[in-house]
A and B are shown apart, each in its own frame.
Chain A
Amino acid sequence: MKTNIIVFGQLTDIIGNDKLVVNNAGDTNSLLEELKKGYPALEDSKFILAVDKKLVTENTLLNTNSTIALMPPFSGG
């Protein structure tokens, strides 16, 4: 299973792109583990996750169509 991820703000500097695809992530915890392995700088970054535009704070199951957003603290206005 492939999971599509969109990346915002300063996290785009860490990832080097504004989107990426992660394989075989069944839930958000394993996705985060996988991401931090690939991008160790994420470990020291403040960010939250949205699954299909909803903020998630607890481990959340992903399905094939889920879109995950990695979002650093907002700074609009």
Chain B
Amino acid sequence: METKSGQTTGMKGRKPKNVFVQGAVAASFIADSIQKHSSKTDIGGHSIFLGQVRADVINGKEVASIEYTAYEEMALEKMHTIREDIFSKYDLICMHVYHSLGKVAAGEISLFVFTSSAHRKAAIDACEETVERIKAELPVWGKEIFVDETYQWKESK
């Protein structure tokens, strides 16, 4: 079952969904996403991870924003595999993933992972594992742009 917001249920045969959004993930978008679940009364717990751009200071220069690029086609296929794996491992009701492309300013949200289940444990564990796999497996790159407009390529920790 799909809705306009790109929701997924735990059914088989899902197609790769777009997870990329241009620019930051807005707090109001996250709020709307939560609100939309009020009609799904089999859900008993949600888990949400929000990745936020840090204003790191590197060699005396402060990060103003991160510009994200991705090998989109490959990333969407990989995300589809991760989603399938997570749904077969955990008793989830739904999962939503949004990752920014382009510039995201320090303090803004660049990753939104949202899992829901009947009981909290599945949602919490699935959310954590999904975030870890996104970081490790999605072909996405961040370019840290400093206040003085120089840059360096981000290294994941």
Contact = CB atoms under 8 A, between A and B. Distances in A.
Contacts of A60: none
Interface in B130-144: 131, 134-143
If over half of A's interface residues share one DSSP class (helix, strand or loop), that class is named, otherwise mixed; here it is loop
B103 interface: no
Interface residues of A, number: 15
B148 interface: no
A62 interface: no
A72 B156 CA distance: 11
Contact of A74 (B110, B136, B143): B136
A22 B114 CA distance: 42
Given A74-B136, A74-B156, A9 B69 contact: yes
Q: Size range of the interface on B?
A: 20 to 34
Given A9-B153, A50-B74, A53-B74, A74 B138 contact: yes
Interface string A1-28: 0000010111001000000000000000
B145 interface: no
Contacts, number: 65
Nearest to A10: B153
A42 interface: no
Contacts of A57: none
B45 interface: no
A45 to B, nearest CB: 11
A76 B131 CA distance: 10
A69 B142 CA distance: 17
Given A8-B71, A53-B77, A69-B74, A74 B137 contact: yes
A53 to B, nearest CB: 4
Contacts of A76: 68, 70, 99, 111, 134-135, 138-142, 156
Interface of B: 51, 68-71, 73-74, 77, 99, 110-111, 131, 134-143, 153-156
Interface of A: 6, 8-10, 13, 50, 53, 69, 71-77
